[in-house]
Amino acid sequence: MDRSLLQEILEMTLGSKNVYFQPPVNIQMKYPCIVYKRDYASTDHANNLPYRNTKRYSVTVIDQNPDSLIPDKIAKLPLCSFSRFYTADNLNHDVFNLYF
């Protein structure tokens, strides 16, 4: 599938344009936001040939609010699973694995 569709889905889920794909280190992000990147691909084989390849994205919701509802919305996306939570720079990070 086209990554621009994923971008659109994440923007609609967040309710803003603060969705960043593999942002460079010098970008000034606005919170709450979603940062995502490709991190894996699952390939299925039959007769020693690949017949399906699905990309996996690491999707991180970053919010100042520890009780944000945004992670709950991301968790409801198809083929999405929660990976971990951490805090950094006084911001809450919820990380998900999303096959798309």
pLDDT, residue 42, reads 87
pLDDT, residue 51, reads 86
Tell the CATH topology of 3-99.
STM4215-like (3.30.2000)
Bridge pairing between strands 33-46 and 80-88: unpaired
17-38 b/e (C-beta count within 10 Å ≥ 16 → b): ebbbeeeeeeeeeeebbbbbee
What does the alpha-carbon distance between residue 29 and residue 33 come to, in Å, rounded to a whole number? 7
pLDDT, residue 73, reads 98
Q: How many residues does the chain have?
A: 100
Whole-prediction pTM: 0.92
pLDDT, residue 60, reads 98
pLDDT digits (tens, 9 = 90+) for 52-74: 889 999 999 999 999 999 999 99
